[in-house]
Amino acid sequence: MPTAPPPVLLIPQVLLEATLQRQAGAEPLQRQLHRRLQQAILAGRLAPGSRLPGSRALAEGLGVSRNTVIAAYEQLSAEGYLQPDRQGTRVAALARPAAATARGRRGGEEGLAPDQPALAQGLAQRLAHIQPTGAGTLFGLPLRPGVPALSHFPLAAWRRALDRAITQAGPAALAYGEPLGEPALRAAVARHLSVARGVRCSPEQVVITEGAQEALSLCARLLSNPGDRAWVENPGYRGAKAALRAADLTLHPLPVDREGLCATEQDWALHPPRLIYVTPSHQYPTGAVLSAARRLQLMEQARRHGCWLIEDDYDSEFRHAGESIGALQGLVPQAPVLYVGTFSKTLFPSLRLGFLVLPEALLPGLQGPLGELLRGGQRHSQLALAQFMESGEFARHLGRMRRLYRSRQSALRSALQQHLAVPHQIEGGQCGLHLCVRFGPRWPDQAVAEQARQQGMAPSALSGFALPPGPADNGLVLGYGNTSSELFAPLIQRLSRLMQAL
């Protein structure tokens, strides 16, 4: 007997119950529609497999433009909530997360958020085994990943912000400040994350750190003990592995595919973690986006097994197609997620300012230890950054950089397609400052990267991000943030010649 087709929803009732807001200053209609559909899917009011109405029909029913509906559908499809097919658009099959549990209870029981262990010991001895990378010598070379367009930073506006901060704060700002960061900056960061990334937080949950690396180290030191297990993406960010290794954690690498981190039931049963490091909005270095189904499964399993997720929102501010992917932290209330970010890519690396958003459940237990570990320095820079953000200069700078990086990424992709004369596959490009290019084992990526450095280029070998590298982890990670568009063609031609010579 043939299977009955899924029901067709003429106009979802959830949209008819609440009219889209159209007054001046309201959120764009596209975002309102996206949020209502997302919430309806997460709440189960739009059943998995249900077919949504066509974009034209829904636009007419809601009295909005068809482009508004198309953009919302495309964003939800990119995030994994919807599945387009030849017959239209269906709701994806998602596992709904369980309700958040009460705070302050023990984390070993099923369905409860984990508690805080004692501080890890012996950090100084373990750090002695971490070797420096020497990456600073390659910082200015073209094609290096993770380097922003520093020549386009608005130095004059930043100088004015610094001058105001020094004048207004006076000599008092020369002393130690609040250990968790300047209140003005914590409030500005909380507001920005709420609007731009969908993060659920108050200023009290924000901790200002010396970049993302210190935030990762704090997570490892405060929430684990030596010998605990931590899951990491494979391939994945080397800095996270260094921070977790420094805390004497046992690393368990998990593969990454087109839907991001891939954890199986066997992984949970045989290798239960204390911490899970993940880059869901833009996986580094492959560029994959963690699908909605996997986000919900990961959140549910983390609660069930009493572990914490460390979300590194790497490069999420620079999305080049559609709306930005919302943060994992804001997906459900009281999520067991520590959210990490930095201003190194959005502003400039030597600023050395980042942030850590703590779950509300951890605040009582961690404020004391954090007050002992942190000293509240760089006060003038923190105050200047707060003014930079509140004045709108930060948002304007991000807008200019998104347009610039979108253009540079397009130029690099075109140069690769035209001039890289070896079989290759390009990955990523929807976000960030780099592309991942895979090729066959005939061209060992470590040798290619070394030859490129000798010729004045600084791509990274993909195998260097893997733990351990497999046959598929052979390729290059090519940065385009610090390289002008007109240089990509000659650079890729040079890269192609050296690869053919190898």
Task: Give me the pLDDT at residue 480, please.
Answer: 94
Task: Give me the pLDDT at residue 106, please.
Answer: 39
Residue 79 has pLDDT above 90, yes or no: no
Task: Give me the pLDDT at residue 319, please.
Answer: 83
* Cα torsion 40, 42, 43, 45: sign: positive
CATH fold for the domain made of 123-138+150-394:
Aspartate Aminotransferase; domain 2 (3.40.640)
Give the strand order in the sheet containing 434-439. Answer: 424-427, 434-439, 475-479, 460-461
Instruction: Give the other-Cβ count within 10 Å of 192's Cβ.
Output: 19
Reference 263, options 224, 226, 291; nearest CA is 291
Say what percent of the chain tops pLDDT 70: 87
Domain positions in the chain are: 13-91, 123-138+150-394, 398-501
CA 341 to chain centre: 8
Contact 443, 502 (CB under 8 A): yes
Reference 395, options 130, 196, 140; nearest CA is 196
The three-class DSSP label of residue 136 is: helix
pTM value is: 0.82
Residue 149 has pLDDT above 70, yes or no: yes
Residue 483 has pLDDT above 60, yes or no: yes
Say what percent of the chain tops pLDDT 90: 62
pLDDT by residue (tens digit) across 183-229?
999 999 999 999 999 999 999 999 999 999 999 999 999 999 999 99
Give the mean model confidence (pLDDT) for residues 108-113. 46
Label residue 15 by pLDDT band (50, 70, 90). low
Instruction: Give the other-Cβ count within 10 Å of 111's Cβ.
Output: 13
pLDDT by residue (tens digit) across 330-379?
998 999 999 999 999 999 999 999 999 999 999 999 988 898 888 888 89
Contact 357, 204 (CB under 8 A): no
Contact 290, 296 (CB under 8 A): no
State the Cα–Cα distance between residues 152 and 148, nearest whole angstrom: 9
Architecture of domain 13-91: Orthogonal Bundle (1.10)
CATH fold for the domain made of 398-501:
Aspartate Aminotransferase, domain 1 (3.90.1150)
